[in-house]
Amino acid sequence: MNTKETVVRMYQPGDEEGIIRLFNSIFPREMTLEEWRWKYLGRGNTKVYSSVAVHPEQGIVAHYGGVPHRMTYLGREVHGLAIGDVMVHPGFRHFKTFKKMAELVPDEAARDGFILGYGFPSERALRLPEKLGLYEKVEDIVEANRDITSRNNLPRFLYKFFPLDYDDARIGRLWDECKGEIGLAVIRDQDYFKWRYRDHPFQNYEFWGLRLRTSTRLTGLAVLKKEQERILLMDFLCRRKHLPPLIIKVENYTLSSGRKRLTVWIPPYLEKPFEEMGFSTGPAGTCIPRTTHEKGLKKHEIEGRFFYTFGDTDFQ
């Protein structure tokens, strides 16, 4: 194909139909218009931070997506962009087209005050943007696994693990209590949990809370996804001192639901606490890079501070 005829530009209303067609021609599952709207227009977003390459005959032949998030960084609210749905039609896979798209989105976001662009690529997918100087690897993501053979009853009489309603006002108060221990993260308030988990167009999740039996105060929460042989701990939120009882309760629930393995993705700074709780840890096969825009956070400002889980990705 003649790539000279393609035009690289930011998203325009109506492009979603071509983006969906491209996605469905490349990936082994289909994206619906509902999913696209949920991802890129959810939570009242009025601007789509995506770039496309358009061919006069073939239409949209490449896409570089960015999902905006409210984030916290060292105690102040900031905005970041999670990069995803990066795809190029096989007939138009030229590094110049990709480079133009990958430069356009962070530049547009930086003009709007965003201070971070990040993603969750595999090492293989990172090679090209890293070689082109578009991304810089920050750290490897850790996968923690625990095979569960018996229940741990130590927190049984102290804590209650219960189904949590997404409209529970205690979620916001829990976030306010926890955010001081988090250096960098997507803001995990009620709006976020509703959008990411309750309103997901095709995935099903379970939402659980943790409290002391002697109090109604919420001390932790967990988002779970059941697979055939294991449970994924998609997301969790608690003060560090409440992490062991929260994980024990999740482990007990895993066993009672007929699964015997619990899996979670965590940043490297949480690897030791999870190992102390009996988890085996190792590379997840996925890393987290930053986009190298001059106005963005630098690697040393991110490394060791970023709290993320399975739920921060767009493929679980």
Q: Are 115 and 295 in contact (CB under 8 A)?
A: yes
Instruction: Indicate if the pLDDT at residue 3 is higher than 70.
Output: no
The string of pLDDT tens digits covering residues 85-105 is 999 999 888 888 899 999 999
Span 181-188, mean pLDDT?
98
Half-sphere exposure for 27 (CA within 13 Å, toward CB): 16
Phi (first) and psi of residue 5, to 5 degrees: -85, -10
Q: Which CATH architecture has domain 3-118?
A: 3-Layer(aba) Sandwich (3.40)
The predicted structure's pLDDT at residue 99: 94
For the chain, the domains span 3-118, 143-312
Reading the block at residue 3, the tokens are 């790539």
Instruction: Indicate if the pLDDT at residue 4 is higher than 70.
Output: no
Q: What whole-number percentage of the chain has pLDDT above 90?
A: 91
With cut-offs at 50, 70 and 90, classify the pLDDT of residue 244: very high
The CATH number of 143-312, from 3.40.630.30, 3.40.50.300, 3.40.50.1100, 3.30.2020.30, is 3.40.630.30
The string of pLDDT tens digits covering residues 264-278 is 999 999 999 999 999
Least confident of 60-69, 94-103, 179-188: 94-103
Q: How far apart are CA 48 and CA 70, in angstroms?
A: 15
Looking at this protein, which amino acid is placed at residue 45? N
- Going by their DSSP bridges, the two strands 7-10 and 280-291 should be labelled as unpaired
